[in-house]
Every structure is written in C-alpha cells, then in structure tokens.
Structure 1
C-alpha cells in the first residue's frame, strides 16, 4: 500500500462507504421483508382481505351503491376474515355485510353452497339460526387469490 496519506485516506473512506452501503442494503431488505410478509403468512392474508373489505366499503362514499353490486364477493371476503379469526357467522350477520337485499343475499349464500365454497349448518345453541362458514375449498380458493395479489404488490 502506498504511503501517500491522501491515498490511504481515500482507501479508508472507500472502505467505510462500502460498509455503510452494505448496512443500508441489509436494513432496507429487513424493512421490506417486514412490510411485505411472506405470501403464505395467514396474518398477511387476513390483512389483505380486511383491506379489500375496507376499500369496497369506501367506494360507497364516492359512488352510488347500484354500481357495486357484488354480494357474493362481499360475503366471501367476510367469511375468509371470519375463518382466519376462527369465528362463525349466522346468516343474518353475513347478509348484513353483502350490501344487497336479504332475499338476494340468501340466494347468493345458497349459490355459494352449491358451488362448494361455503357450508351451512344449524346453530347448535339456537336451532332457529343457520351458521355459514367458508369450507376448505372456499378457503383454499381465497387463499390462492390473496397470495396472487401479494405477488402483484411486490412486483
């Protein structure tokens, strides 16, 4: 190594900068990993589903209700959230999330059952109520969809 003090100082500064750049990259990668958890993380998928529900509800502040008529999708997202939180919903509670008339929502629940996405069962504590839950096929389909969304967010 040269004995020239300017060259020595330049080499030291260069090494220090290289170390700083390495540390900044490591911190940025750790921060990105914290903000974009693995797509298979159930908590991350729950957050995405909740964000979708919030976004869908916010639309109604700016646009008329009739242009967003997707009761089945609203119910599927709600059922996914309930599934992740290990909660059950009765028909009345689920219908209230659909944004559609009760009879329309009930028809959609029946259709989702026929399609194999949800399961209906009589509430053991109140036989007048029917519980609706996302079954394994419905959960897997929504999980794959939400995982696919995480790929879009990370690209």
Structure 2
C-alpha cells in the first residue's frame, strides 16, 4: 500500500511539473518576438534558441492529444534542453537533464552515456561535490543542433 501511494504521488507531481513547464513554454513563446532571417536565410543565435524552445513546447503539446508512449526520444529531448541551456550560467546536472527527457532514469542515463560517446555532450564532475556531474552540450553537439535548426528554418 505504501509503495502504491508513493507511485501515485510521483505521478501526480510529474503531471503538475509538466503542466507548469507547458505554461512556462507557452508564456515564453508568447513573449518571443519574431526574428527575421539574414539575407542568406540563416537565423541568429537568439532565433535558434527560440526555435528550439518552440520545438520543445510542440513535443510536449503532442502528449495532450496523443498517447505519450508514442513519443519516446529522450536523447532528442535532452539535446534540445542542453541547447537551450547552453548560454545559461547555471550548469545542467544529470538530475535536471533526466527530468527534461520524460523517460525513466535508467533509460535517460543510458542515453546520456551514448550521447557522451558520440561526443555530443560533455560531462564534468563538480569539484565541490564529486557526486554531482554537470552536463553540457559539446561544441560538436552545439554545431549539429545549430545546423539542424538552420536547415529546417530554410526548408
């Protein structure tokens, strides 16, 4: 009985967190000003981040209309989250990144390891707390996401 109540509470908290995230993304999208592309069709870094935010919001919105189990791409969710957070002075730790992936912890951790092996992300152990690992988008990962977002903006 105790385990069922904990699971129920976790599901309730997850649903509330998702609702807050969706509301935040909606407000952020409403505040974003349209950014014109340069003559060659490329978008500014701010416009790329805005596009990444929009993709993240669209991905979450799908879950309101279709079964969530259809959309398990934790690696993509993590890459988008890291791209958006790239210039943020606060580093992303594994716990925060796992929360962005909307996948089980073990699945997310396997994807983090895989993304690291592909050199798309960097991992740094926090010198103040060696149990804490900070994750960031690598230069290779940032270039790949930028190139992808530029390509879809031109299409």
Q: TM-score range by the shorter chain?
A: 0.7 to 0.9
Normalised by the length of structure 2, the TM-score is: 0.73
- Helix, strand or coil for the counterpart of 1:150? helix
What is the alpha-carbon distance in structure 2 between the residues aligned to residue 123 and residue 63 of structure 1?
39
Equivalent in the alignment of 1:93: 96
Q: How many pairs does the alignment contain? A: 119
Deviations 1:109-143, CA, capped at 9 Å, x for gaps: 00000011001111123221101110000000000
| Runs of 4+ with deviation above 6 angstroms | none
- In our comparison, the structure showing a higher alpha carbon Rg is 1
| Larger fraction in helix | 1
2:131 aligned residue (120, 124, 128): 128
The one-character-per-residue Cα deviations of 1:71-102 (angstroms, maximum 9, x if unpaired) are: 00000000000113344200000000101100
Residue 145 of structure 2: aligned partner: 142
Q: Is the Cα contact below 8 Å between 2:36 and 2:43 reproduced in 1?
A: no
Q: Is the 8 A contact 2:35 2:47 kept in 1?
A: no
What is the RMSD computed on CA atoms of the aligned residues?
Answer: 1.3
Which residue in 1 is equivalent to 2:11?
none
Q: Unaligned regions of 5+ residues in structure 2, if any?
A: 1-33
Unaligned segments of structure 1, at least 5 residues: 1-33
Aligned to 1:67: 70
How high is the TM-score relative to the length of structure 1? 0.73
